[in-house]
Structure 1
Amino acid sequence: MDRRRWLKNSVLLAALPLWIIARKVQAATWFASAFEAKQTAQVLAALKATAVPVASDLSIDAPQKAENGAVVQIELSSTQAAGKLRSLRLLADANPTPLIASFELGKQVLPRLVTRVKLAQSGEVIALAEQGNGQFTQHRRQVIVLEDGCASSEREEPFASSMKMRARMLESSPLGNHVTELKIIIVHPMRTGRSKNEDGQLMPAHFMQLMQVVMNGQVIVDAQTGTAISRNPYFTFYIQDAQVGDVITVNWQDNRGLEGHGQVTVAV
């Protein structure tokens, strides 16, 4: 089943009760050639992003020095208005697979988001923005990493997932009026395939690949994620013109075909 059909099904499912949604999520195509690429140049080639200029409107808020590379909070933002950018992508040049995540943003979503990532070693974190006309721009920031966050040891635990969500309308915000802050935490191991268990054996990769945010029956964020999103993925998005009482649904799927679903109502 192709990606467009999955998008259509997710939109239709947003209006259904959660117990029905949980049984009917459809598969989509994960952009393997970009996420499995070993070098940033290969990622850019897969995305057809060549000769990408540096943009003054893009910024990356990240620590100058990350003591624990397994959990590094990063904020990507652009000064452009909602609906002007087609997507924001996050890369880490020194990671074994540089592409961390891709976010296609609907016209209601401000080009600003927060997530937590794994950084293997010191290097450049890259924000890649795709304009509405298909052109790309970029911004880079150097981050020093003191401890590898991509290949640490982990305990083997039975898989059990859950989700916490909060959608709060901001009364006063530098982002403007009528902005809703959506926070999402998904319980998931996000194993890279390079970590080892307590016996020193490699643990198979197990990570979330697809996530959609649907509001009032419309997909407003269509995300793809790789192995470098931190354990228990965390995201913050900013939505314009949502109303108190609007229903937001989040659906995700991982590399093993497992799925999760959550729902929240916009509140003050």
Structure 2
Amino acid sequence: MQRRSVLKGLLGLATMPFWMVIQKVQAATWFAQAFDAKQTSDVLAALQATAVPVSPNIQIEAPQKAENGAVVQVEISSNQPAGSISSLRLLADANPTPLIASFELGKQVLPKLVTRIKLAQSGDLIALAQQNGGQFQQQRRSVIVLEDGCAGSEREEPFASSMKMRARPLEDGPLGKGIVELKIIIVHPMRTGRSKNDDGVLMPAHFMQLMQVLLNGKLIVDVQTGTGIARNPYFTFYVKDARVGDVIAVNWQDNRGFEGHSQVTVST
């Protein structure tokens, strides 16, 4: 569901549960200073994260070699318990704009997530974790990129979007007990503004900026994204103490005013 005019937006909100409307109104402003920065040092300065120590508590899983930089799956995780880390940020040091995404995590959400990103060239991935007390930790992983994923050519098509979600309980295991795995995929072009159409003309940037995940009306994940998230954004989160029958809703908004809303019930 997309809305570009105020009138259509109000009509859309009228059909939504009241708590979804409240969370939409309270959505955060996109952090332009950090996402527009061209150097990793400028991103870290904008995030007020300087002299950050490397920590074995943070892990990055990513391929050593990326055949196609346009779609690279990355997992960030920490061995610390849910509620101990307030945010995870992902950067690609060699991208034209290094900050890829920022994830603010509620106390029920494990510090573990999966997404797919674009890499322009070989360099370091940086996972930046912020503790509840404000301290930062980081981890780095080098990835060799064989094909630039941030430019190239794309077919120009009318915009249409949809969203699929799945939420299911996991068996008790290394992640603990009572964990629900939430998978989200959103159909979206995620254009960087550096790709060209078939006629060689630069295509304007069109990318998702904000996403919120709500559990039974309570905000549990607040996401900001830049142009480094891969086409058709994909995310996996892990929620503690969610139960079968609980309702998880997702709202998103992009840089051109389009938005989407969907929800799923936790089921086996």
Q: TM-score, normalised by structure 1?
A: 0.91
1:21 Cα offset (Å): 5.2
> Which one-letter code corresponds to 1:249 in the other structure?
A
Superposed displacement of residue 90, structure 1: 0.1
Structure 1 residue 174, shift from structure 2 partner: 1.8
How many Å separate the matches in 1 of 2:153 and 2:253? 24
Partner in structure 2 of residue 196 of structure 1? 196
Whole-Å Cα distance in 2 between the matches of residues 187 and 129 of structure 1? 28
How far apart are residue 23 of structure 1 and its match?
A: 11
Distance in structure 2 (CA, Å) of the matches to 1:239 and 1:25: 21
Unaligned runs of at least 5 residues, structure 2: 1-12
Q: Which residue of 2 aligns with 1:10?
A: none
In structure 2, the residue matched to 1:171 is 171
- d(CA) in 1 for partners of 2:232 and 2:173? 27
Q: What is residue 92 of structure 1 aligned with on the other side?
A: 92
Relative distance call for 1:80 and 1:92 in structure 2 (3 A) is same
Question: CA contact under 8 A between 2:181 and 2:238: conserved in structure 1?
Answer: yes
* Separation in structure 1 between the aligned mates of residue 81 and residue 208 of structure 2, nearest angstrom: 29
Instruction: Give the residue type in structure 2 aligned to 1:111.
Output: P
Q: Find the residue that maps to 2:41 and give its secondary structure.
A: helix
Distance in 1 of aligned mates of 2:142 and 2:23: 42
Q: What are the superposed Cα offsets for residues 21-42 of structure 1, whole Å, 9 maximum, x if unpaired?
A: 5899436410000000000000
Matched with 2:139 is: 139
Asked if the contact 1:22/1:260 (under 8 Å) is kept, the reply is no
**What's the counterpart of residue 156 of structure 2?**
156
Asked whether the equivalents of residues 212 and 219 of structure 2 are also in contact (C-alpha less than 8 Å), the reply is yes
Matched to 2:176, the amino acid is G
Question: One-letter code of the match for 1:237?
Answer: F
Q: Distance in 2 between matches of 1:207 and 1:160?
A: 13
Give the gaps of 5 or more residues in structure 1.
Answer: 1-12
Distance 2:130 2:28 in 1: 21
Tell me the percent identity: 75
Deviations 1:244-264 (A, max 9, x none): 000000000000111001100
Paired residues, number: 254
1:218 deviates by 0.6
- Shift of the alpha carbon at 1:192? 0.2
Partner of 1:102: 102
* CA displacement 1:74-112 (0-9 Å, x = unmatched): 000000000000100000000000000000000000000
- TM-aligned CA deviation for residue 17 of structure 1: 3.7
**Cα distance per residue 1:1-32 (max 9 Å; x no partner):** xxxxxxxxxxxx8x9449x9589943641000
Q: Is the 8 A contact 2:39 2:97 kept in 1?
A: yes
| Native 8 Å contact 2:23 2:219 kept in 1 | no
Q: Which residue of 2 aligns with 1:80?
A: 80
Distance 2:171 2:101 in 1: 30
Paired with 2:196 and 2:149, the residues of 1 have a C-alpha distance of: 12
| Structure 1 residue aligned with 2:228 | 228
TM-score by length of 2: 0.91
In 1: Cα distance, 2:253 partner to 2:177 partner: 33
Rounded to whole Å, the distance in 1 between the matches of 2:70 and 2:103 is: 21
Deviation, structure 1 residue 56 = 1.0
- Displacement over 4 Å in runs of 4+: 20-24
**Counterpart residue identity of residue 66, structure 2:** A
Measured in 1, the distance between the counterparts of 2:79 and 2:22 equals: 39
SS of 2:177's partner is: coil
SS in 1 for 2:43: helix
1:163 is matched by which residue type in structure 2? M
Question: Is 1:22–1:261's contact at 8 Å kept on the other side of the alignment?
Answer: no
Alpha carbons 1:90, 1:126 under 8 Å: kept: yes
Task: Show the counterpart of 2:66.
Answer: 66
How far off is 1:193 after superposition?
Answer: 0.2
Aligned position for 1:3: none
